[in-house]
């Protein structure tokens, strides 16, 4: 169990799950629907299953690349032998089937769109082989969380959750580019596509700042469109402050704090933001 939780980096669920919860409670706050604990459980289950399938597929597809990369060869489960490739693939298939099955018990639109969601989140793992826009594809995958949760409640699209989805898209793409700085030289040697491999460290960090500026714009717009209360605004400004902080941690000539910027700062930002936003609906 420990190996599989490590395989899918279960702790990284902290990035998207809070935004799925925002999408769920947003639907309740701005529609006629009431709280349904069973539906919330299904939404959380969908998030966990989809992300587990995506991460395991990424590790399965990239197993040879991970073996060749000194940074990942000893710590990732398939290259170091703690999980074999066939088992990882079976894990992907089982989680994918369970994800689609769970959406069937939510509503029709979620069920019909579930293969599209799987195509995006599984397809991301292949994109680094042919486009440096892979970071944006990852962002699109995680951006499905708030709008997907909203659809689970209402069964229909709306503009407000899309502000959060676009914010997640540029937020994830921005911090994934920072994380990818660690593999800039390796990606070049292997002929892999990434923003750092294409434009270098300094330009990557500048582009990440631009993406996170766009993220801030969407979050501020969401707060305005929602006629948000003070707690919503507080959460928004804390999130933006933590975006700024992570860019102070990483320099083109000093990548020693990449993991702090990538996981700790973004994880805290996501949790704190969702806490204040959801709390604002009840106070």
Task: Please state the domain extents for the chain.
Answer: 2-280
Average pLDDT over residues 97-117: 97
pLDDT value for 261: 79
* DSSP bridge pairs for 254: 251
What whole-number distance in Å separates Cα of residue 101 and Cα of residue 50? 11
The 10s digit of each residue's pLDDT in 247-277 is 999 988 888 888 877 788 998 999 999 999 9
Residue 45 has pLDDT above 90, yes or no: yes
Return the sign of the alpha-carbon dihedral for residues 216, 220, 223, 226.
negative
Name the pLDDT band for 224 (thresholds 50, 70, 90): very high
pLDDT value for 258: 87
Average pLDDT over residues 97-103: 98
Query: Which of helix, strand or coil describes residue 98?
Result: helix
The 10s digit of each residue's pLDDT in 129-145 is 999 999 999 999 999 99
Return the sign of the alpha-carbon dihedral for residues 240, 243, 245, 248.
negative
pLDDT value for 7: 67
Which stretch of DSSP H or E encloses residue 141?
helix 134-154
Q: Check residue 82 and report its DSSP letter.
A: S
Residue 9 has pLDDT above 90, yes or no: no
pLDDT value for 208: 97
Region class of 83: left (phi > 0), else alpha (psi between -120 and 50), else beta: beta
Choosing among 1.10.357.140, 3.40.50.300, 1.10.3720.10, 3.50.50.60, the CATH entry for 2-280 is 1.10.357.140
Average pLDDT over residues 162-189: 95
pTM of this structure: 0.94
What whole-number distance in Å separates Cα of residue 274 and Cα of residue 283? 14
Mean residue pLDDT of the chain comes to 93
What whole-number distance in Å separates Cα of residue 84 and Cα of residue 160? 43
Average pLDDT over residues 222-235: 94
pLDDT value for 8: 64
pLDDT value for 263: 81
Q: Where are the alpha helices (DSSP H) in 8-68?
A: 17-29, 37-61, 63-68
pLDDT value for 225: 94
CA atoms within 13 A on the CB side of 95: 24
Whether 56 and 8 have beta carbons less than 8 Å apart is answered as yes
* DSSP bridge pairs for 251: 254
Number of H helices, E strands in the chain: 14, 0
Residue 32 has pLDDT above 80, yes or no: yes
What whole-number distance in Å separates Cα of residue 14 and Cα of residue 267? 6
Q: Check residue 11 and report its DSSP letter.
A: G
Percent of the chain's residues with pLDDT above 70: 96
């Amino acid at each position: 169990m420990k190996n599989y939780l490590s395989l899918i980096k279960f702790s990284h669920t902290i990035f998207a799950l809070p935004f799925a919860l925002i999408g769920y409670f947003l639907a309740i706050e701005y529609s006629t629907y009431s709280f349904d604990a069973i539906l919330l459980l299904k939404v959380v289950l969908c998030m966990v299953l989809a992300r587990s399938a995506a991460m395991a597929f990424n590790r399965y597809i990239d197993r040879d690349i991970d073996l060749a990369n000194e940074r990942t060869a000893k710590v990732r489960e398939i290259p170091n032998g703690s999980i074999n490739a066939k088992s990882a693939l079976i894990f992907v298939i089982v989680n994918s089937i369970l994800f689609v099955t769970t959406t069937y018990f939510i509503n029709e639109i979620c069920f019909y769109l579930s293969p599209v969601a799987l195509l995006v989140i599984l397809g991301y793992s292949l994109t680094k082989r042919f486009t440096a826009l892979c970071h944006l594809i990852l962002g699109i995958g995680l951006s499905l969380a708030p709008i997907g949760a909203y659809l689970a409640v209402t069964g229909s699209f709306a503009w407000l959750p899309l502000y959060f989805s676009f914010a997640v898209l540029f937020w994830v793409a921005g911090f994934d580019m920072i994380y990818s700085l660690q593999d800039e030289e390796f990606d070049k040697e292997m002929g892999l596509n990434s923003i750092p491999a294409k434009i270098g460290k300094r330009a990557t960090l500048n582009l990440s700042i631009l993406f996170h500026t766009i993220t801030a714009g969407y979050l501020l717009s969401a707060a305005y469109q929602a006629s948000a209360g003070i707690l919503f605004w507080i959460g928004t400004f804390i999130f933006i402050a933590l975006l700024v902080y992570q860019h102070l941690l990483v320099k083109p000539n000093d990548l020693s704090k990449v993991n702090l910027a990538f996981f700790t700062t973004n994880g805290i930002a996501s949790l704190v933001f969702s806490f204040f936003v959801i709390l604002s609906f009840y106070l």
